[in-house]
Amino acid sequence: MNLREKISNKSAKIGVIGLGYVGLPLSFEYAQAGFHVIGIDNDMKKINALREGENYIDDVDSDKLKKLLLAGKIEAESDYSRIAEVDVIFICVPTPFTINKEPDVSYIRDAGEGILNGLRKEHLVILKSTTYPETTEKLLLPVLQQSGLRVGEDFYLAFSPERIDPGNKTYTTANTPVVVGGVTKQCTEMAVAVSELVISKVVPLSNTKAAEMTKLLENIFRSVNIALVNELAQLCDRMEGVDMWEVVDAAATKPFGFMPFYPGPGIGGHCILVDPYYLAWKAKEYDFHSNFIQMAGQTNENMPYYVLDLIIRSLSIRGGAILSSKFLMLGVSFKKNVDDVRNSPALKLMELLHARGGKNLIINDPYVPEVYVNNKTYKSRELTKDLLENVDCVVIATAHDKYDIDFIATHAKLVVDTRNATKSIRAELQNKIVRLGHGSNTYHPTVDEH
């Protein structure tokens, strides 16, 4: 039975390398559709959790996942010893950058070498990790070709980037359209065929490079627009009476030609922060300098430094100093209502506060029990009246929906709000609030308020 027949009758075994925010939801969808899935990850905590029927990704239904695990529809392995058993292999490994902002594709290379030992005819390999154009054909393909097998004839290779939005209850792995580009036409057809079985809409592209560039465009588009509003927010902080949040909402009433983006303390997660540097690095190979894209990335990366300055200024005009102040960081995940702390601007802000002497730092996050920053572990403290009253500055870094903003503002001495969470706060509490991009951050308290 050939691969196409196995895909059609759901007898194909699915392999997923990397069981994180992309790989586990993907494994779940294929198991739900009736396929047998073998997941591979070198993190034994994940492997042991899955073997115990436990879930660690909020976007996956825990009860349904447990049933699939107990039924043996999803198996978890820590090595590549069973790679020859599967028919379709998805690579969902991390693609971070180095300290010098250069791509780290070592995880992709390692995955390729792991597959190589069991690569056989009729294998389909689909890379889903976000990366720069030509990674599939110039990095992964040469590794797999060491087997002596011919791509497009003996085995198939394609790129289909992930489009995971952690915490999004509307768009999931199953109903978010994906693009697919194969090394050959046959590779594309095979990758489309297997993807269509669990994803509502699959868009075939002409090649892998087009698919790789598509993913970068999607995220760089967001990076550039976020950088624009972040820069304008800084301008609005100097302009009395101009609220950047109000301006964005007003512009969004235009029914065409505008899409709202909002300022914040920086950008986090994996893709939006990383992708501009991936493309900029690759562009140099063609003597092309992506100045505009890099400037946007720099603007976003500078936002934690700007927020630090806003905190220091806000304390100073109220007679406080960073060295003697107690700080409460509200929300340490990179976006609201999730437990994902990858590249979170809140963590960067904690590093900067600590470096400037703000070492009396407490955190609260209903989704993140603890984080390791500044060479120490910060455990999330219960958000109580006493806690709020005993700190000098509350920083809203991530505005989780679970937060009672009125309660926070009532009992805090000073709130630096980077997410516009306090926009509807009672008028009598406004003198405690400093909002990023609000246009009223030049407020000076009276003598009685010191």
Catalytic residues: 271
Chain mean position to CA 349: 17
Q: Look up tokens 């509490």; give the residue.
A: 429
Strand extents, DSSP E, 78-190: 88-91, 124-127, 156-159, 178-182
Q: Look up tokens 């699915």; give the residue.
A: 14
**Which alpha helices (H) appear in 123-184, and where do they start and end?**
135, 141-145
Q: What does the radius of gyration of the chain's CA atoms come to, in whole angstroms?
A: 24
- Other Cβ atoms less than 10 A from the Cβ of 322: the count is 19
Residue whose C-alpha is closest to residue 16's, from 94, 69, 76: 76
Sign of CA pseudo-dihedral 347, 351, 352, 354: positive
Rounded CA separation 136/151 (Å): 12
Rounded CA separation 373/262 (Å): 27
- Other Cβ atoms less than 10 A from the Cβ of 369: the count is 9
What are the strands of the beta sheet with 74-77, ordered from one edge? Answer: 74-77, 36-40, 13-17, 88-91, 124-127, 156-159, 178-182, 202-204
Rounded CA separation 335/441 (Å): 24
DSSP string for 413-450: S-EEESS-TTTT--GGGGGGEEETT-S-TT----GGG-
